[in-house]
Amino acid sequence: MSDHTALDQDTLEMLKDVMEDGFNDLIMTYLTDSEVRVAALAEAIKSQDSEAVRREAHSLKGSSGNIGATGLAGLCLVVEHKGRDGDLCGLEENLSDIRAAFAIISDSLKALLN
Amino acid sequence: MTEQSNLKILIADDTDTDRLILQTIVSKEGHQVICARDGVEAVEQFEKERPDIVLLDALMPNLDGFGAARQIKELAGEELIPIIFLTSLTETESLVKCLDAGGDDFLQKPYNRVILQAKIKSFNRMREMHRTMLEQRDQIQIHNNHLIQEQTVAKQVFDNVAHSGCLDAANVRHYLSPMAVFNGDVLVAALRPSGSMMVLLGDFTGHGLPAAIGAMPLASTFYGMVQKGFALSDILREINQKLKSILPVGVFCCATFLEVDFHERTVTAWNGGLPDCLIYRPKTGTVDHIKSKHLPLGVLSNIQMKVDCLHFELDPGDKVYMWSDGIHEARDGAGEMFGEERLLNTFHNSNNKPSLFDDVMAAVQGFIGDNEADDDLSLVEIEMVAPEEVSSKSMPSYSTEGPGLMEWRLQFEILPSTIRYFDPLPLLLNIVTEVPGLRSHSGSLYTILAELYSNALEHGVLGLSSELKASPEGFAEYYAQREERLANLQNASINFAISHDTRENGGNLTIKVKDSGKGFEYDNKLLDLSSKKGYCGRGIPLIRTMCESLKYLGNGNEIEVVYSWRSDR
Amino acid sequence: MAINSSISPDGSELTFSIQGRFDFSAHQDFRRSYENLETAPSVYFVDMRETTYLDSSALGMLLLLRDHAGGDSSTVKIVNCSPDVKKILTISNFEQLFTIQ
């Protein structure tokens, strides 16, 4: 199993370069946004809404990928596919993996803030 | 517009992180960014801001990217608004869905700055090309409308000039198909003062305007000269000369020129470059060919040009057919040509029906089927009828209301060199018909002048005996002698003295013709209508019926006629 | 439609061979093959062995060639005509202007 908490350094360098002064804002936006998404995903799983599961996982996958959190994006992809296929088995377990990974990534990203 | 130009770019993404990254990348390129959080907002912003390029996330709440793309494409109308889908979708099916919704490309997450820049650049180029294309298309449309409008007006002028004259006469039928607005074929017909009909069918090299332009001088020369009584050979030379001088080398006019004489029941024909004309004789079912023996008009200089004609006798009901090569070269679906053989078969299978003209048209059109003709189709039929049946409503009538030549006197003498090469009749007729009201008498006047002149020339100056013409063999001998004596003519003259008095509602035209011949013994009392018969002397009784008075003077080498006329009005 | 032209080694004879339909589309190629020659040929051959059809534009092009070659003093020979091609040339009485073989 690959490391779900890894951050792609090239992507982060590119973002620093592009965002310049806006890099802190971007990280904060990602963190806030992702917390909302994770909560929404939990809600969707709880209510067995496979379409909402798919959509929330998809969004979190996209933004995580963009920020360089490729491992987390991979976890989200699994959930997205389950949502798409209407396969709701073991989602609680997936959700806790995502939560755990996001907590560690959160800390790593916060450490990058000036 | 340059590639550095600032574009207005709409970014629609429900994820704040993604939107922030894209917004930053795009604004750093110097573009103006408009953001939307979902599909509904995206469509609203599009309507409000009219961006140049749209970046759309596929999955968004309220209205997803696919729905938004459809609406945006709809709103964009003809304009090309490139839509790039922002997606981490990887399945082929979803990508196809993006394209179906009107997406032009994808941008995969995670975003790559360089790729995004390249895509914006290339789509902007495409957008500009599309805009240029639309502008040019609209310009072409405007130009085309303009051109068609101009051509429509020009075609009216052209048709008035090139397809006119006495084509409406009861014994003439014709069909002309325009391939473009203009037709490379020209068809003109007019009645000579003598009552015979002259018809010229021409086919200029090429099609459209370049082909049509030569028709103008051709038609105006034709009408001007036919009406004034010029001979076929003179008109041909004049037209050839005009075309040769104005047309570039390589542009010419294949033509057939016919003169149909309804009194003599003959047709005189000159064919330069058109397919054989056919004479169909219903009584016998036979077909005579009038072959092309000459180069087309506008190729040779007048010195090299030959104007010798073919002569045929016609019976009433015989029909002459003229056509351009469009009929022969009409193609069917397989590209095969209609050809002369099929045309002749139509004639042979006609069983003497009067509908031959329609049969030919039907055969050609049936052969072509739904294929477009690739050449102009022209067909003319002229039937030999009695002279009085030849009339046309649309022959130009000249209302000479104002004062013209009223009272006048003219002396005109021609000498050997002129007698040999020049036909004085058109000139004289032209002057005489300047008298207001006499224009409509030009047919009778031409006949009178022509008969008086030929008597003065042939019997007076050349001393030919009209007795010779009593037999068919003598007829040929007569013309052989005429040619020989004319060539050796010396010390001769023919003098015309013409005067006119205008009366109320008409006038008297007095024509005296005096020749240098020795005259003959005459008795003016014998000039009644029933005295002479046979081939010879037909002229004098004919003139006698047309004139108020006719008498010989002097030694019989001088004749005076008075033509009395009343205005029809 | 294709036009090939070849010039004899001494430059005195220019031969065109025309394949397929000889019509207005040949205009540019036909002209190009006789204009801008270093030495003017004294005899021109137009080889119609593989010509299936010619229209009035083609007749016009032949007149242009004749004009270019010196008009009445030119020698332009049209050779290897099929019966169909020959008929078109005959109707137009081009044998009065060209040597047709």
CA distance B62 to B432: 95
CA distance B76 to A41: 36
B249–chain C nearest CA distance, Å: 6
Do B102 and B72 touch, CB atoms closer than 8 A? yes
Is the pTM higher than 0.80? The answer reads: no
Token pair for B500: 């006119």
CA distance A112 to C70: 91
Residue whose token pair is 């990217």: B65
Do B111 and A66 touch, CB atoms closer than 8 A? yes
Do B38 and B61 touch, CB atoms closer than 8 A? yes
List per-residue pLDDT tens for chain B, 569 residues long.
444 568 999 999 988 888 999 999 899 889 999 999 999 999 999 999 999 999 999 888 889 899 999 999 999 998 999 999 987 666 677 788 888 888 999 888 778 888 888 999 999 999 999 999 999 999 999 998 888 888 778 777 777 776 667 888 889 998 887 655 566 788 889 988 878 899 999 988 876 677 778 888 898 899 888 888 888 988 999 999 999 998 888 889 999 999 999 988 999 999 999 999 999 998 888 899 999 999 999 999 888 888 899 999 999 999 999 998 888 888 888 888 888 888 888 888 877 677 888 888 888 888 888 776 666 788 999 999 988 888 655 444 444 445 667 778 889 999 998 898 888 988 898 888 888 778 778 878 888 998 899 889 998 999 888 777 777 777 788 888 888 999 999 899 999 999 988 877 788 999 999 999 888 877 776 665 454 443 345 577 778 888 888 889 888 899 999 999 886 54
DSSP string, B446-509: HHHHHHHHHIIIIIIIS---GGGGGSHHHHHHHHHHHHHHHHT--S--EEEEEEEEEETTEEEE
| Alpha helices (H) in B105-167, listed in sequence order | 113-162
Give the residue from chain A lying closest to B110, CA to CA: A66
Token pair for C22: 């000889």
Token pair for B168: 């409406």
Closest CA relative to residue B357, chosen from B349, B366, B347, B348: B347
Contact residues, chain A, for B27 at CB < 8 Å: none
Do B251 and B205 touch, CB atoms closer than 8 A? yes
CA distance A73 to B28: 27
Task: Identify residues of A whose CB sits under 8 angstroms from chain B CBs.
Answer: 11, 14-15, 18-19, 22, 25-26, 29-30, 32-34, 55, 58-59, 61-63, 65-68, 73
CA distance B412 to B239: 28
Touching partners of A (3+ C-beta pairs < 8 Å): B
